[in-house]
Chains A and B, each alone.
Chain A
Amino acid sequence: MVERHLVAYRRMWLIIVSGFFEPLFYLLSMRLGVGRLVGDVTVGGRPVTYVEFVAPALMATSAMNGAIYDSTGNVMVRLRQMHLYDGVLATPMTPADVAVGDIGWALLRGQLYAASFLVVMTAMGLVHSWSALLTLPASAAVGLVFAALGFTATSYMRGWPDMDWVTVATMPMLMFSATFFPVEAYGRWRWAVNLSPLYHGVAMIRSLAAGVWAWSMLIHVAVLVVLAVVAVVVAARRIDRLLRA
């Protein structure tokens, strides 16, 4: 499955590259503008500049975006327009193979964005700790969760108009996952932030990038892993229901 996408996307590299620029432009605007207006922020008791604060969150966001792009719109086309999966299920491949393959691909795309983002962060001098390398597995977890959630959501969609729900879900997540300001700022709505899968990714990647360790990171990992496993299982079931009646 993954091999198929590699071959298919050889012709569509521009689409892939373009997705990487969105969070990058966000970051540049933060550095040039907002970063000068806003003072330092503390992460795990350590003060960091605002750009250093936002960058890891945008890295998590780019992993989310890459995974979501591929697991929603593209899956929709493969499922409803190209009937790609019908052809694949006529071979020894099972619905679980299809789900794992396509979620894996979407995860890879998210990972590609996250990794390029990490390179840019390093080049801009925003990374100070070797633990920043661990942001890669962390962003993979973010990608996996969103790839699987996107895939599952898409399987419930009846047509393109339903696609707008993806934006309805991801836009507030980008705004309210402690992305642009610390979780303390949410006051008594702080609990709600915990409902966003992106928040757990942001919190984890931020700590790793700053080289700060805390027990709460284990909780974030657990949330992401549990969500991912559940979503993959549901996704495989949905393919089975939809295509093997």
Chain B
Amino acid sequence: MAAATDDLLIEARGLTKRFGEFEAVRGIDLAVHRGELFGFLGPNGAGKSSTMRMIAAVSPVSGGTLRIFGLDPRTHGPHIRGRLGVVPQLDTLDQELSVEENLRIYGRYFDLPRAECRRRTAELLEFARLSDRAGSVVDTLSGGMKRRLSIARSLINRPELLLLDEPTTGLDPQARHLLWDRLYRLKQEGVTQVLTTHYMDEAEQLCDRLVVIDEGRIVAEGSPRQLITQYSTREVLELRFPARDGSASTAELADQLGGVGSRQEALADRVLIYADDGEHALGEVHRRQLRPDSALVRRATLEDVFLQLTGRSLVD
């Protein structure tokens, strides 16, 4: 096999997924290469999980083409799944088994020899910092421990490609940072990872490259830095004004601020000014005789990009 195709772990063209009348994924093109940490960013219901389930060779493709390791999931499902690790959005740990048995028995589903399962289980317990809980029943673990166990379980077959569906949703900051640390270590070991998230800091910290999905389509693609440069300014100035009546006033203020920075956005309680130099923009605000209660200059984040691309209204 040529090096170029060997390097391409996921390739999708015009990938779609329909559930009856509803089209969850509407034609996605993707290419994920070996060693990458690739992210799907999008609001709830954007089609992230549906795409992940198709890549995991669990959910059948409705249209377009999908190749994982150069293979068609329709015909090579078991083979593909044997080389994948999957961390589902909701833990599917075996509640009737202990922590240690969860890992060992999962390895058996991959048809690994018993002795090998035992060896890898000990390793992974160490990796997930769960060695002292090996005999515990799953139910007694904290949320963070369960996620770590899920990740450890997904590694039992030494996957070439790890799929993580919202790995840190619902975790406290300590648990998230520990998890990020583990994912980063895996990346250094050369494990290709694809993750979905709606935490921007997570995507910014971890992903080499990401796509923003909205309503089943890719609306932007690039590295976190590229996306910020392309869809936002370097800095954002947040202005809070004394309370007046209603949101119309922030819109009026935004009008009065026309021409300051490269773009103005009126929210219910504040006005955002996108500018490459936030301090300079603030000076301009003062020159126009506007007196905000507070003014904050910050670096633009992926969150600004995300909200610009997918809108601020609640999608559910």
**What residues of B have a CB within 8 angstroms of the CB of A158 in the complex?**
none
Contacts of A89 in B (CB 8 A): 58
**A83–B138 Cα gap in the complex (Å)?**
14
Counting chain B CB atoms within 10 Å of each CB, which of A83, A91, A93, A94 scores highest? A91
B residues 49-94 in Cβ contact with A at 8 Å: 56, 58-60, 77-79, 81-82, 84, 86, 88, 90, 92-94
Question: When the two chains form their complex, are residues B92 and A91 in contact, meaning their CB atoms are under 8 A apart?
Answer: no
Contact with B along A203-230 (1 / 0, CB 8 A): 0000000000000000000000000000
Alpha-carbon separation in the docked complex, A200 to B106 (Å): 39
| CB <8 Å contact, B110 and A8 | no
A89 to chain B, nearest CB (A): 6
A124 contacts the other chain (CB 8 A): no
Instruction: Tell me whether A244 and B109 are in contact in the complex, defined as CB-CB below 8 angstroms, given that A83-B90, A87-B92, A91-B81 are known contacts.
Output: no
**Which residues on B sit within 8 Å (CB–CB) of A83?**
90, 92
Q: A94-B77, A94-B78, A245-B19 are in contact. Are A88 and B96 (CB under 8 A)?
A: no
User: At the interface, yes or no: B101 with Cβ under 8 Å from chain A?
Assistant: yes
**B108-126: which have CB < 8 Å to A?**
108-111
Specify the main secondary structure of chain A where it touches its partner: helix
Interface string of A76-87 (1 = CB under 8 A from B): 000000111011
Known: A89-B58, A90-B81, A94-B78. A84 touches B108 (CB 8 A): no
- Taking the complex as formed, is A92 at the interface, i.e. its CB lies under 8 A from any CB of chain B? yes
Q: How far is the CA of A83 from the CA of B96 in the complex (A)?
A: 12
A188 at the A/B interface (Cβ < 8 Å)? no
Contact between A3 and B56 (Cβ–Cβ < 8 Å)?
no
Interface assignment of A4: CB less than 8 Å from any CB of chain B? yes
Verify A3–B90 contact, CB threshold 8 A: no
Given contacts A3-B105, A84-B92, A87-B88, contact A92 B110 (CB under 8 A): yes
Residues of A within 8 A of B111 (CB): 92
Point out the residues of chain B lying under 8 angstroms from A84, CB to CB. Answer: 92, 94
Q: Does A7 contact B (CB under 8 A)?
A: yes
Contact, CB under 8 Å: B96 / A82: yes
Alpha-carbon distance between A87 and B108 when the two chains are bound, in angstroms: 13
Question: How far apart are the CA atoms of A89 and B93 in the complex, in Å?
Answer: 13
CB atoms of B92 and A92 under 8 A apart: no
CA distance A88 to B93 in the complex (A): 10
* Pairwise interchain contact A8-B97, C-beta atoms closer than 8 A: yes
Is the CB–CB distance between B94 and A91 below 8 Å?
A: no
CB-CB under 8 A from A90, the residues of chain B are 56, 58, 81, 84, 86, 88, 92
CB of B247 within 8 Å of the partner chain: no
**Contact for A244 among B59, B84, B97, CB less than 8 A:** B59
**Within residues 146 to 181 of chain B, which ones have a CB less than 8 A from any CB in chain A?**
153, 157
In the assembled complex, how far is the CB of residue B53 from the closest CB belonging to chain A, in whole angstroms?
8
User: Chain B residues near A4 (CB, 8 Å)?
Assistant: 94, 97, 105, 108
Instruction: Judge whether B108 and A3 touch: CB under 8 Å.
Output: yes
Q: Given contacts A87-B92, A92-B81, A245-B59, is CB(A7)–CB(B97) below 8 Å?
A: yes
B 243-280 to A, binary, CB cutoff 8 A, 1 in contact else 0? 00000000000000000000000000000000000000
| A92 adjacent to B78 (CB under 8 Å) | yes
**Bound: A243/B78 CA distance, A:** 15
Contact assessment for A87 and B94 in the assembled complex, using a CB-CB cutoff below 8 Å: yes
Judge if B95 is at the interface, Cβ distance under 8 Å: yes
On whether the beta carbons of B58 and A91 are closer than 8 Å, the reply is no
User: Which residues from B are CB-within-8-Å of A87?
Assistant: 88, 92-94, 106, 153
The answer to whether A86 touches B92, judged by C-beta atoms less than 8 angstroms apart, is: yes
**Which residues of the partner chain A approach B82 to less than 8 Å between Cβ atoms?**
91-92
In the complex where A87-B88, A89-B58, A92-B81 touch, is A82 in contact with B95 (Cβ < 8 A)? Answer: yes
B93 to chain A, nearest CB (A): 7
Known contacts A3-B108, A7-B105; 9 further A-B pairs (Cβ under 8 A): A8-B101, A11-B96, A82-B92, A83-B92, A86-B88, A87-B153, A90-B56, A90-B58, A245-B19
For this complex, 23 residue pairs linking A to B, each with C-beta atoms less than 8 Å apart, are A3-B105, A4-B105, A7-B97, A8-B97, A12-B96, A82-B94, A83-B92, A84-B92, A86-B92, A87-B88, A89-B58, A90-B86, A90-B88, A91-B110, A91-B157, A92-B81, A92-B110, A94-B77, A243-B58, A244-B58, A244-B59, A244-B60, A245-B59
